[in-house]
Amino acid sequence: QRGHTRMIDLPVVSDPRGDLTFVEGGNHVPFDIRRVYYLYNVPVDSERGGHAHRELEQVVFALSGSFRIKIDDGFSKSEFVLRNPKRGLYINRLIWREMDNFSQGAVCMVLASHRYDEADYYRDYDEFLAASRA
Ligand code: TYD
């Protein structure tokens, strides 16, 4: 069972000029960061995700606004609301995820362990389920 989905808290340096958060691959996240991507201009009724990955690990942040992530490891389901730019959600390989309830102006940033590779995706839920239980 891949119950490794968890929140990761990044450091914050606060002073009267504002807050600063940083992230180091292999230190604050459990992999070397090979890719960063972000979602923005997301319509509030949009649903994203709907896939799992063979190898990819990710940490997802709401840099601005908020959204919900629904997590399914093939055995149990859980959900998280991200709204704090210093708190990310670590998602291991072989985890089905769906994202919705985006607030107006939400920005979702994702740190990823590998470069983009469509062959790494499970986009079919039943195929994911079989793999997750193998
Ligand atoms: P997808 O991962 O399905 O988006 P989400 O999970 O946020 O709903 O990707 C959407 C499209 O963007 C798909 O055609 C693949 C492409 N894409 C890239 O080309 N590079 C990337 O790094 C990512 C994440 C997606």
What ipTM was estimated for this complex?
0.96
Q: Which position has the higher pLDDT, 1 or 73?
A: 73
51 assigned to some structural domain:
yes
Q: Residue 74 has what pLDDT? A: 96
Q: Residue 108: enclosing H or E segment and its boundaries?
A: strand 107-112
pTM: 0.96
Q: Tell me, what's the pLDDT at 126? A: 98
Give a yes or no: residue 25 inside a domain: yes
Q: Is residue 95 part of a domain?
A: yes
- Tell me, yes or no, whether 114 lies in a domain: yes
How far, in Å, CA of 134 to CA of 128, rounded?
10
The reply to whether 4 belongs to the active site is no
Helix (H, G, I), strand (E, B) or coil at 119: helix
Give the Å distance between the CA of 109 and the centre of ligand 1: 13
Q: How far apart are CA 94 and CA 99, in angstroms?
A: 16
Beta-bridge partner residues of 125: none
Residue 31 has pLDDT above 50, yes or no: yes
For residue 83, tell me if it sits in a domain: yes
59 part of a folded domain:
yes
Ligand 1 contact via 116 beta carbon (within 6 Å): yes
Strands (E), 1-101: 6-9, 12-15, 18-21, 35-39, 48-53, 58-64, 67-72, 77-82, 87-91, 96-100
Q: Is the CB of 40 inside a 6 Å radius of any atom of ligand 1?
A: no
Domain with 18 in it = 6-132
Residue 14 CA to ligand 1 center (angstroms) comes to 33
**Domain of 81: which CATH number?**
2.60.120.10
The pLDDT confidence band at residue 4, using thresholds 50, 70 and 90, is: confident
Mean pLDDT of the chain: 96
Q: How many domains does the chain have?
A: 1
Tens of pLDDT, residue by residue over 46-104, are 999 999 999 999 999 999 999 999 999 999 999 999 999 999 999 999 999 999 999 99
Instruction: Write the DSSP symbol of residue 25.
Output: B
| Ligand 1 pocket member 38 (CB < 6 A) | no
Confidence tier at 1 by pLDDT (50, 70, 90): very low
* Interatomic CA distance for residues 25 and 21, integer angstroms: 14
In a domain, 1, yes or no: no
Does residue 27 lie in a domain region? yes
Residue 3 has pLDDT above 60, yes or no: no
